[in-house]
Amino acid sequence: MIGELWKDGIDNKGQRISRPSRCSEATAKSLLGTREAEELLPKIVAVSACPVLTIAADGTPKLLARGYHSELGGLYVSGGGTPRQVPPLDEAVSALMAPIRDFDFQTKDDKARTIAAMLTPAFVYGQLLPEARVPLFIMEANQSQTGKGYLVDLLSAIYGERPICVVPRKGGVGSFDEDFNAALLRGCPIIMLDNLRGKLDSMHIESFMTASGTFMARTFRRAPADIDPRRYVVFATGNRFETTPDMENRAVRINLRKRRQDYVFDSYEEGDVLAYVRAHQRFYLSCIHSVISHWIAAGRPATDENRHSFRQWAQAMDWIIRNMFGERVKGRLMDYDAIPATTDLAEKMGFEEPSDDANSTQG
């Protein structure tokens, strides 16, 4: 806080007084546009809805709680309250497996990739792999209403976020790329390209996924803005859609199967598993931090996994999954068993034609 705002007025006795006052939105915008604001206000390059775990100068884990931090180029943590005590590693791993047990993964490797998707926002928020990029996570299913969007909502809830949805549209003003830019400019670090069909063929998004330095985003009636693409995690959901070879090289696929009609999903006092995770978000985030703290304390090890373009991310995640989750997951990050990660998975998985219904519910 640079200073306190005061307002002149008259009290009930007719005396002139000055008292603290809130700044109006119009006045705030005017003040932020001044040279003094540029020179005096601390720089903010990212805003997080939850505490962020990063690496201190001495190489140890450092938790950035609610408030402003000069680390990471200028970070403001807007929520999260007092962080919970980090649980032991075994307890943390067991807890993180629980919210996804209702999902029927095509293979054990799809479950391993889901764990990687669960951990990746923490790596992005804390810039734990500073110059590395993270992939596009593609959620596919063999039928509609399998829970692809629900899974994205669930993973986002651990970080106190609700993903911004970008949905393909027919007609209207603007384009899918422009809608994607608008989502970037809103600042939410988790974006979901929802209910995709046909072919995801966007050189713009492909460029975003590998851009080094800043990335220019522009929308209608708004000046272009440079954003840092390393601070975003992008998901895509669909029952049947293709990608270009370049987009496939920037992605990992998580394949789901629809549960039988009589399957009984977990329920809690708060409601379904998503409501439960949101109610206990601080605990689940502390479990994420427990896993990552142990990885940092171990010297940030990596495997020799080289089957993905984003090698640094893949090697770190592969080590964590094999050494911390191995007994519970038994899958490998980049193994696809008999189902290769290609653009013609639909026939191999027995996809049905997607319906017009939304597909972001659990059941």
pLDDT at residue 359 is higher than 60: no
292 Cβ contact partners less than 8 Å away, ≥ 6 residues apart:
53, 61, 119, 122, 123, 126, 128
pLDDT of residue 24: 81
pLDDT bucket at 347, cuts 50 / 70 / 90: very low
Instruction: Return the pLDDT at 337.
Output: 67
Q: Where are the beta strands (DSSP E) in the chain?
A: 6-10, 16-20, 46-48, 52-55, 61-64, 67-69, 75-77, 104-105, 136-141, 164-166, 190-193, 197-200, 215-219, 222-227, 233-238, 240-243, 251-257
Residues 86/290, Cβ–Cβ less than 8 Å: yes
197 lies in some domain: yes
**What pTM, to 2 d.p., does this model score?**
0.84
Query: Mean pLDDT, to the nearest integer, of 49-69?
Result: 95
293 part of a folded domain = yes
Supply 137's token pair.
């996570």
CATH number where 203 lies: 3.40.50.300
Instruction: Check whether 157 has a pLDDT greater than 50.
Output: yes
For residues 275 and 20, which has the higher predicted lDDT (pLDDT)? 275
User: In this structure, is residue 115 part of a structural domain?
Assistant: yes
Which of 1-10, 321-330, 337-346 shows the highest mean pLDDT? 321-330
Confidence of residue 219 (pLDDT cuts 50, 70, 90): confident
Q: What is the pLDDT of residues 170-210, one digit of tens each?
A: 655 568 999 999 999 988 899 999 999 888 999 999 999 99
Domain containing residue 170: 89-349
* pLDDT for the residue 2: 54
| Confidence label for 29 from pLDDT (cuts 50, 70 and 90) | confident
29 within some domain? no
Structure tokens at 167: 């949905």
Total number of domains in the chain: 1
For residue 232, the tally of other CB atoms under 10 A from its CB is 20
Comparing 133 with 349, the larger pLDDT belongs to 133
Asked if the structure places residue 95 within a domain, the reply is yes
50 within some domain: no
Residue 152 lies in a domain: yes
Residue 41 one-letter amino acid: L
Per-residue confidence (pLDDT) for residue 358, from 0 to 100 = 36
Tell me the pLDDT tens digit for each residue of 267-315. 999 999 999 999 999 999 999 999 999 999 999 999 999 999 999 999 9
**More reliable by pLDDT, 19 or 226:** 226
Residue 108's nearest CA partner among 341, 334, 345 is 334
With respect to residue 53, please indicate whether it lies within any of the assigned structural domains: no
Phi, psi torsion values for 129, nearest 5 degrees: -125, 80
